[in-house]
Chains A and B, each alone.
Chain A
Amino acid sequence: QTVVTQEPSFSVSPGGTITLTCGLNSGSVSTSLYPSWYQQTPGQAPRTLIYSTNTRSSGVPDRFSGSILGNKAALTISGAQADDECDYYCVLYMGSGISVFGGGTKLTVL
Chain B
Amino acid sequence: EVQLLESGGGLVQPGGSLRLSCAASGFTFGSYAMSWVRQAPGKGLEWVSAISSSGGSTYYADSVKGRITISRDNSENTLYLQLNSLSADDTAVYYCAKKVAGGSFASIDYWGRGTLVTVSS
| A residues whose Cβ falls under 8 Å from a Cβ of B | 33-36, 38, 40, 45-48, 51-52, 55, 57-58, 87, 89, 91-93, 96-104
Contact = CB atoms under 8 A, between A and B. Distances in A.
Interface stretch (B10-18, B24-32, B74-82, B102-110): B102-110
A92 B109 contact: no
Nearest to A35: B106
B103 A48 contact: no
A48 B50 contact: no
A51 B57 contact: no
A104 B44 contact: yes
B109 A58 contact: yes
Contacts of A89: 44-45
A99 B33 CA distance: 13
B114 A36 contact: no
Interface centre among A35, A48, A58 (most CB of B within 10 A): A48
Contacts of A35: 106
A45 B45 contact: no
Interface string B42-79: 00111100100000011101000000000000000000
Contacts of B95: 45-46
Interface range on chain B (Cβ under 8 Å from partner): 20 to 34
Contacts of B108: 36, 38, 48, 51
Given A34-B106, A93-B107, A98-B61, 10 more contacts: A33-B106, A35-B106, A45-B113, A46-B95, A48-B111, A52-B102, A97-B105, A99-B104, A101-B44, A101-B47
A52 B45 contact: no
Contact of A52 (B37, B46, B59, B103): B103
